[in-house]
Structure 1
Amino acid sequence: MTSDFFKYQAQTTPHPLAMEISHAEGCYIYDTKGKAHLDFVAGVSACPLGHNHPKVIKAIKDQLDKYLHVMVYGEYIQKPAVELTKLLSKHLPESLKKTYLTNSGTEAIEGALKLARRATGRSEIIAAKNAYHGNTIGALSIMGFEERKQAFRPLLPDVRFITFNNAAELSLITNKTAAVILETIQGGAGFIEPKEDYLHKVREQCDKVGALLILDEIQPGVGRTGKLFGYEHYNCIPDILVTGKGLGGGMPIGAFTASQELMDCLMENPKLGHITTFGGHPVIASSALATLKEITESSLMQQTLEKEKLLRTLLVHPHISEIRGKGLMLSLIMNSSELANALILQTKERGLILFWLLFEPKAVRITPPLTISNEEIEEGCRIILSVLNNIKQQNSTSIF
């Protein structure tokens, strides 16, 4: 299987971890040698209820017996998609009423950018330095990290960049700006939270000049920060909310949500303003609906903040310079990139899955399933501290 993996499946890095998977259950992934790996990554935040959650699996199996894909998005009334978008609306402010379901977070970003340009009649998009919103050409154009973009230029024109948390640069948002797009918590940059009411100040400037505010909640959304969406912590409501990853409960999904007035712009002038074949797929929508119900009807979000406290209490070590993030969206900032690499690779050998972040080489991702128990957190932290106590800095390199 390993040789076929490298021979037939396209890779994204020269050195993938290449663990051969047998099955997964709860907060554990099992390889084909029978070894259990405690999962502190959750598919890069995509599995908030862990692996093979019974309610998610039941929803998927029940829908499989009814129908799979029947028509391109938006033409037929399909119960899973309708119930999912209705439940989202129930838990969002009145101004975020209608949801367009897509196949991925990056496709939702594309839809949000198109909607902003269509609604405002403007072309300029303002994004943040060190931002990550996906890898399609539009999403790549608003990525604030030139090293990842330069090989694919030319990209979209009329994109400008500001520094996250720098209120002095908000004057760059003008009446030429269609939208400002920001991650509520910067992900690839190292899980950087907004400070000093930054998002509210962005919101005020957008209102002043008639620009739309798009918040990317693909990582922090769906309960990961202790609220259903991260913006609830920061005194700011976006015009367009983008989500994905965890919403699918382990299935591929994206979504962008706005007011009815905004979203109706995609119906006319031109018609079919945004179209997709498989968006809102009934099986995936069923998985997402079960996931959203479980997160909103249980105590998982409240538990997330308590689990954050436990992780911060346990993970104290001279090799760790700080812990960034909120809830179960945390990153360990190590004293060097070599330490980060060694920790990730050596804990893997001890049965604990950690991972890198895109742009911050000293960061180690901790984004476990929201269902992780205190005992599992303690087990994982024991492995981390044991490795750090005995770590030998290797000349290993990040897969990124």
Structure 2
Amino acid sequence: MKKDFFKYQAQTTPHPLAMEISHAKGSYIYDSKQKSYLDFVAGVSACSLGHQHPKVVTAIKEQLDKYLHVMVYGEYIQEPAVELAKLLAQQLPESLEKTYLVNSGTEAIEGGMKLAKRATGRSEIISAKNAYHGNTQGAMSIMGYEERKQAFRPLLPNVNFIEFNNFSDLDKITSKTAGVVLETIQGGAGFIEPTNNYLKAVKRKCESVGALLILDEIQPGFGRTGKLFGFEHYNIVPDILVMGKGMGGGMPIGAFSCSTELMNLLQDKPKLGHITTFGGHPVIAAAALATLQEITSSNLIPETLEKEALIRKHLQHPLIKEIRGKGLMLAALVDSAEVCNEVILQSQDKGLILFWLLFEPKAIRITPPLTISNDEIIAGCNIIINLLNNIQAKMA
């Protein structure tokens, strides 16, 4: 299998982890030799309810027996998509009442940017340095990390950047700006939270110049930060909300939500302002609906903050300089990139899955399923501490 993996399947890096997967359940992934691995990554924040959650699996199986794809998005009334959009509206502020379902977070970003241009008649998009919003051409254009973009230029014109949490940079948002796209909590940059009411200041600036604020909740969303969406911590409401990853319970989906007035602009002048064949796919929408129902009807969201406290308590070590983030969207910053790499790679041998962040080489990603137990958290933290002890001993 490994030989075929490298021969036939496209690779994203020269050295993938290349673990051969047998199955996964709960907080664990199992390889082809039936070794278990405690999952502290959750498919990079995608598997909110862990692996093979029974309610998600049941929803998928029930929908499989009814119908699969029947028509391009938006033409037929399909119950899973309608119920998902309705439940989202019930959970969101009134101004985010209508949702467009797509296939991924990056497609949702594309839709949000198009909508901002359509609504304002302007072309400039502003994003943040060290931002990551996906890897399609438009989303890559607003990625604030030139090293990842330079090989693919030219990208979208009229894209400019501000520094996250830098108030003086807000002067760059002007009457030429269609939309400002920000991660509510910067992910690839190292799980950096907004400070000093920064997002409120951005929203005020957008309102003053007639630009739209687009918040990327692809990583913080669906309960990971102790609220259903991260923006709820900061007392603001975006004009356009983008989501993905954790909303599907392990299935591929994305969406963007806004007011009916805004969303209706994609219906006409021109018609088909945004289209997708498989967006709102009934099986995937059923899985996302079951995921949202479980997250919002259980204690998982408040428990996320309790689990954060438990992780912070048990991850104390001289080589850990700080733990950034909120809830179960955490990054442990260590002494160096070398220490980070050693911990992540050695943890797999010890039966623990950890991973990197995109742009912060000293950060260890800790984004387990929301369903992870306290005992599993402690066991995973103990593995990390033991690895750090061994590394520290070698450094002495």
TM-score range relative to shorter protein: over 0.9
For residues 186 and 23 of structure 1, the distance between their equivalents in structure 2, rounded to whole angstroms, comes to 32
CA drift at 1:393: 9.8
Q: Which amino acid aligns with 2:328?
A: L
Match of 1:398 in 2: none
Q: Which amino acid aligns with 2:160?
A: R
CA deviations 1:185-213 (Å, max 9, x no partner) are: 00000000000000000000001010000
Paired residues of 1:247 and 1:288 also in contact (CA < 8 A): yes
CA drift at 1:392: 6.9
CA drift at 1:258: 0.5
What are the residue-to-residue correspondences of 1:1-400 with 2, within 5 Å?
Answer: 1-391=1-391
CA drift at 1:179: 0.4
For residues 103 and 209 of structure 1, the distance between their equivalents in structure 2, rounded to whole angstroms, comes to 32
Paired residues of 1:338 and 1:393 also in contact (CA < 8 A): no
Unaligned runs of 5+ in 1: 395-400
TM-score normalized by the length of structure 2 = 0.99
Paired residues of 1:339 and 1:393 also in contact (CA < 8 A): no
For residues 18 and 57 of structure 1, the distance between their equivalents in structure 2, rounded to whole angstroms, comes to 26
CA deviations 1:254-298 (Å, max 9, x no partner) are: 000000000000000000000000000000000000000000000
CA deviations 1:201-242 (Å, max 9, x no partner) are: 000000101000000000000000000000000121100000
CA deviations 1:157-202 (Å, max 9, x no partner) are: 0000000000111011011100000000000000000000000000
For residues 320 and 182 of structure 2, the distance between their equivalents in structure 1, rounded to whole angstroms, comes to 28
Q: Which amino acid aligns with 2:170?
A: L
For residues 393 and 117 of structure 2, the distance between their equivalents in structure 1, rounded to whole angstroms, comes to 49
Paired residues of 1:25 and 1:50 also in contact (CA < 8 A): yes
Sequence identity percentage: 74
User: What is the SS of the residue equivalent to 2:220?
Assistant: coil
User: What is the SS of the residue equivalent to 2:226?
Assistant: coil
For residues 168 and 306 of structure 1, the distance between their equivalents in structure 2, rounded to whole angstroms, comes to 36
Paired residues of 1:311 and 1:381 also in contact (CA < 8 A): yes
Paired residues of 2:319 and 2:392 also in contact (CA < 8 A): no
User: What is the SS of the residue equivalent to 2:242?
Assistant: strand
Paired residues of 1:342 and 1:392 also in contact (CA < 8 A): no
For residues 331 and 94 of structure 1, the distance between their equivalents in structure 2, rounded to whole angstroms, comes to 33
Q: Which runs of 4+ in 1 moved over 2 A?
A: none
The Cα RMSD (Å) is 0.9
Alignment size in residue pairs: 394
CA drift at 1:302: 0.4
TM-score normalized by the length of structure 1 = 0.98
For residues 334 and 237 of structure 1, the distance between their equivalents in structure 2, rounded to whole angstroms, comes to 34
Paired residues of 2:99 and 2:255 also in contact (CA < 8 A): yes
Paired residues of 1:342 and 1:393 also in contact (CA < 8 A): no
User: What is the SS of the residue equivalent to 1:214?
Assistant: strand
CA deviations 1:33-56 (Å, max 9, x no partner) are: 110000000000000000000000
CA deviations 1:18-43 (Å, max 9, x no partner) are: 00000000000000011000000000
Q: Which amino acid aligns with 2:156?
A: L
Q: Which amino acid aligns with 2:136?
A: T
